[in-house]
């Protein structure tokens, strides 16, 4: 036991797993002891078997949600980076437009989603737009912050060597911005998923185009609580998977040099 | 001690001879600098640096020595007066930045780039092809004793080695004029002494001109062929003292009589300028 506690990496994996298993066991036992009805709180075992039983239905819904999330995420990154570069190049542009980026950010997506869904015919496109709006801001703000966070000494060095604006951007500003950008990616990937779920709730698209959020909504109406939990579990796992992918990407890109990613 | 002649040490001038006949490579004429907030950083500074000299700008914080250096580098503008930096030799693709290189207070290396990439940077920016730049990068790394560290990230180097990499980057452009802004100020004394000695070797071998900003009297005396003493509020030059040392300045020079005498003279000048200020 002590050997495991001393091994940081093993502990990081084993400790949370043990905690999770313990909580599930307590949950299971509490349900049997209190005899709580399944339509209020199902025990983990029932949720598990429901997940197996609905596997086909839930995974096809998962794919839909994933499609919306990833499309929105790619759009957010593309637009966000483009906007950040524009802002970083022109102070006037940034000063005049940044407040509106903030307005976009602080307006709750649930409040504008119905409008977007009315305006845009294609439900998929409408949902992607909603999710993009949610995921956009961290990319813009983090990338701008990064592009501006340049070591003044290095900037002087570039100036001394008569670097062109383009050279300074590519060789200095972009690498300086990378750690901030990857920080933005982590936040934004999670937000894209949240945006997709919210958009599905508002759009309420069923049938073959039903995403996980729609399954959650329907399960709620039908008081099929085990299925609701199963769908919820998949949404959560998707979020975790996105986060892990972003962390890995960041590690690959910055592992050699940035303080945040150095593990020794 | 009023006369410099009295303490002229044994052994002649070493390195470059700052005789009047030598070509002036840097000149400040009536240079003043006032910042927008009203700070009077420099007042009527006149200074000439000749080819091959090792000139130290010595003074307390706020005396404008760094500002003057940055003006020579062209990264700061004078409020009035004239700064001229004479491009020596032909300025071409292979001789970027007017034959001038600057070493900053910190190593200012790009953390995302390996040592070789950092040293190559000025050549890359000037569009020097790899076939030309690679041998020059290797040569520069050899000169500062960093051979074998090409593929190491800066964070893996000690502070002294980072500074060596920074000097190698400046050497890679094969500068005629070397501007150094308190380059070893953040290092411990042993490392600083080592680097001072190595820098002096480089200077003798390569024959470039050095303008060296420092607030260490010992460092200024050890390195320089001439020490320009500055005072603060407003920043101005109060003395210009040639240093004559033995042919080869080594650790023995640091404890020799003339060395200590020079230190005393410089320290007197600084004390007089700061009277009633601290």
Q: What pLDDT is attached to residue B55?
A: 95
Q: Report the chain B residue with the minimal C-alpha distance to residue A165.
A: B125
Instruction: Give yes or no for A12 touching B (CB within 8 A).
Output: no
Contacts of A260 in chain B (CB under 8 A): none
Q: What are the C-alpha distances in Å from B205 to residues A218, B134, B136, B160?
A: 82, 21, 16, 21
Contact status of A252 with chain B (Cβ, < 8 Å): no
Report the mean per-residue pLDDT for chain B. Answer: 83
Rounded to an integer, the average pLDDT of A243-247 is: 94
pLDDT of residue B4: 41
Interface residue A162 vs chain B (CB under 8 A): yes
Taking the Cβ of residue A63 and every Cβ of chain B, the question of whether any pair is shorter than 8 Å is answered with no
Given a cut of 60, whether residue B20 has pLDDT beyond it is no
The confidence band for B96, taking pLDDT boundaries of 50, 70 and 90, is: very low
Subunit contact B97:A159, Cβ cutoff 8 A: no
Say what the pLDDT of residue B83 is: 86
Whether the pLDDT of residue B5 is over 80: the answer is no
Band (pLDDT 50/70/90 cuts) for residue B252 is: confident
Range(s) of the domain holding residue A167: 43-261
Distance from CA of A154 to the nearest CA of B (A): 6
Nearest to B126 among A151, A161, A258 (CB): A161
| Cβ–Cβ contact A154 with B under 8 A | yes
Q: Is the pLDDT of residue B98 over 60?
A: no
pLDDT confidence band for B181 (50 / 70 / 90): very high
Give the confidence band of B62 by pLDDT, cuts at 50, 70, 90.
Answer: confident
Q: Check whether residue A91 and residue A196 sit in a common domain.
A: yes
Contact A142, A181 (CB under 8 A): yes
pLDDT of res. A2:
60
**Residue B97 CB: number of other CB atoms within 10 A?**
21
pLDDT at A7: 75
Q: What is the pLDDT of residue A263?
A: 59
Q: How far apart are CA B36 and CA B55, in angstroms?
A: 29
Q: What is the mean pLDDT of residues B266-275?
A: 84
Instruction: Specify the pLDDT at position A189.
Output: 96
* Chain A interface test: which of B76, B93, B117, B121 (most A C-beta within 10 Å): B121
- Shortest CA distance from B114: residue in chain A: A257
Please work out, in degrees rounded to the nearest 5, the angle formed at the alpha carbon of residue A61 by the alpha carbons of A56 and A65.
150
Nearest CA in chain A to B127: A163
Which pLDDT value is given to residue A212? Answer: 93
Q: Which residues in chain B are closer than 8 Å to A264, comparing Cβ atoms?
A: none
Report the residue from A151, A172, A256 with minimal CB separation from B153.
A256
Which position has the token pair 């790619």? A74
Interface residue A160 vs chain B (CB under 8 A): yes
Q: Which residue has the higher pLDDT, B85 or A116?
A: A116
For residues A3 and A123, membership in a common domain is answered with no
Q: Is the predicted pLDDT of residue B9 greater than 50, yes or no?
A: no
- Let me know whether A248 and A214 are in one domain: yes
The string of pLDDT tens digits covering residues A152-205 is 999 989 988 889 999 999 999 999 999 999 999 999 999 999 999 999 988 887
Contacts of A173 in chain B (CB under 8 A): none
Are A94 and A217 within one domain? yes
Is the predicted pLDDT of residue A50 greater than 90, yes or no? yes
Kindly indicate the confidence band of residue B63, based on its pLDDT and cuts at 50, 70 and 90: confident
Contacts of B259 (CB under 8 A, 6+ apart): B221, B222, B245, B253
**pLDDT of B185 strictly over 90:** no
ipTM of the shown complex:
0.79
Enter the pTM of the model: 0.80
Contact criterion met (CB < 8 Å) for A175 and B110: yes
Q: Which two tokens stand for residue B105?
A: 């207070």
The C-alpha angle with vertex B71 and arms to B66 and B73, in degrees rounded to 5, equals 95
Tell which of A161, A167, A178, A255 to mutate to test the B interface (max B CBs under 10 Å).
Answer: A161
Statement: residue B143 has pLDDT above 80: yes
By the CB < 8 Å criterion, does B72 face chain A? no
Residue-wise pLDDT for B145-160, tens only, equals 898 999 999 999 998 8
CATH of the domain at A93: 1.10.3720.10
- At B15 the pLDDT is 43
Instruction: Looking at the structure, tell me whether residues A257 and A198 fall in a common domain.
Output: yes
CATH topology of domain B23-88+177-188+208-278: Rossmann fold (3.40.50)
User: How do the domains of chain B map onto residue ranges?
Assistant: 23-88+177-188+208-278
A66 lies in the same domain as A151: yes
Chain A residue with the nearest C-alpha to that of B72: A160
The answer on A9 and A78 residing in a single domain is no
User: DSSP states of B207-270 as a string?
Assistant: --EEEEEES-HHHHHHH-SEEEEEETTTTEEEEEEE----SS--HHHHTSHHHHHHHHHHHHHH
Ordered alpha helix ranges (H), chain A: 2-6, 8-34, 44-53, 55-89, 91-106, 109-119, 123-148, 152-160, 165-168, 174-203, 212-221, 225-254
Q: Do A12 and A47 share a domain, yes or no?
A: no
Residues of chain B above pLDDT 70, percent:
86
Based on the fold, state whether residues A108 and A53 are members of the same structural domain.
yes
| A79: confidence class by pLDDT, cuts 50, 70, 90 | very high
Q: Does residue B97 belong to the interface with chain A, where contact is any CB pair within 8 Å?
A: yes
How distant is the Cα of A168 from the closest Cα of chain B, in angstroms? 9
Same domain for A29 and A86, yes or no, is no
A18 & A149 share domain: no
- How many domains is chain A built from? 2
B-chain CB neighbours of A153 within 8 Å are: 104-106, 108
Query: Residue A13: is its pLDDT beyond 90?
Result: no
- CB-based contact A258 B112, cutoff 8 Å: yes
């Amino acid at each position: 036991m002590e050997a495991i506690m001393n091994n940081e990496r093993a502990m990081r994996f084993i400790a949370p797993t043990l905690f999770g298993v313990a909580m599930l066991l307590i949950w299971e036992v509490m349900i049997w002891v209190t005899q709580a009805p399944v339509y209020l709180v199902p025990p983990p075992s029932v949720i598990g078997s429901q997940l197996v039983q609905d596997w086909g239905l839930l995974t096809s819904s998962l794919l839909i949600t994933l499609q919306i999330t990833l499309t929105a995420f790619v759009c957010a990154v593309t637009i966000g980076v483009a906007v950040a570069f524009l802002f970083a190049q022109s102070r006037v542009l940034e000063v005049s437009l940044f407040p509106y980026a903030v307005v976009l950010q602080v307006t709750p997506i649930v409040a504008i989603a119905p409008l977007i869904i009315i305006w845009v015919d294609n439900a998929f496109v409408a949902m992607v737009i909603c999710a993009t709006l949610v995921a956009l801001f961290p990319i813009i703000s983090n990338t701008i912050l990064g592009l501006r966070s340049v070591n003044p000494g290095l900037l002087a060095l570039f100036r001394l060597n008569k670097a062109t604006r383009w050279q300074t951007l590519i060789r200095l500003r972009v690498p300086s911005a990378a750690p901030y950008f990857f920080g933005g990616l982590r936040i934004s990937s999670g937000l894209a998923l949240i945006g997709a779920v919210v958009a599905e709730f508002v759009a309420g698209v069923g049938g073959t185009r039903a995403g996980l959020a729609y399954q959650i909504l329907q399960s709620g109406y039908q008081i099929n609580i085990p299925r609701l939990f199963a769908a919820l579990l998949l949404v959560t796992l998707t979020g975790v998977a996105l986060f892990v992918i972003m962390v890995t990407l960041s590690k690959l890109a910055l592992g050699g040099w940035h303080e945040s990613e150095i593990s020794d | 001690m009023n006369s410099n002649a009295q303490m002229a040490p044994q052994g002649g001038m070493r390195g470059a001879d700052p005789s009047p006949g030598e070509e002036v490579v840097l000149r400040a004429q009536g240079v003043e600098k006032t910042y927008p907030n009203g700070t009077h950083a420099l007042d009527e500074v006149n200074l000439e640096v000749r080819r091959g000299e090792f000139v130290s700008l010595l003074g307390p914080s706020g005396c404008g020595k760094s500002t003057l250096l940055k003006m020579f580098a062209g990264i700061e503008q004078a409020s009035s007066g004239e700064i001229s930096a004479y491009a020596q030799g032909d300025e071409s693709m292979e001789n970027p930045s007017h034959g001038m290189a600057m070493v900053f207070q910190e190593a200012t290396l790009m953390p995302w780039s390996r040592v070789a990439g950092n040293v190559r940077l000025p050549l890359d920016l000037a569009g020097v092809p790899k076939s030309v730049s690679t041998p020059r990068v290797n040569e520069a790394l050899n000169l500062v004793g960093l051979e074998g560290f090409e593929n190491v990230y800066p964070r893996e180097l000690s502070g002294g080695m980072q500074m060596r990499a920074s000097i190698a980057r400046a050497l890679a452009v094969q500068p005629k004029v070397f501007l150094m802004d308190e380059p070893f100020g953040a290092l411990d004394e042993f490392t600083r002494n080592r680097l001072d000695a190595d820098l002096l070797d480089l200077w003798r071998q390569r024959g470039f001109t050095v303008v060296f900003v420092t607030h260490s009297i010992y460092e200024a005396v050890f390195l320089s062929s001439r020490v320009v003493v500055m005072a603060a509020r407003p920043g101005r030059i109060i003395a210009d003292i040639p240093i004559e040392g033995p042919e080869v300045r080594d650790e023995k020079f640091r404890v020799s009589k003339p060395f200590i005498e020079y230190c005393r003279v410089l320290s007197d000048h600084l004390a007089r300028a700061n009277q009633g200020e601290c």
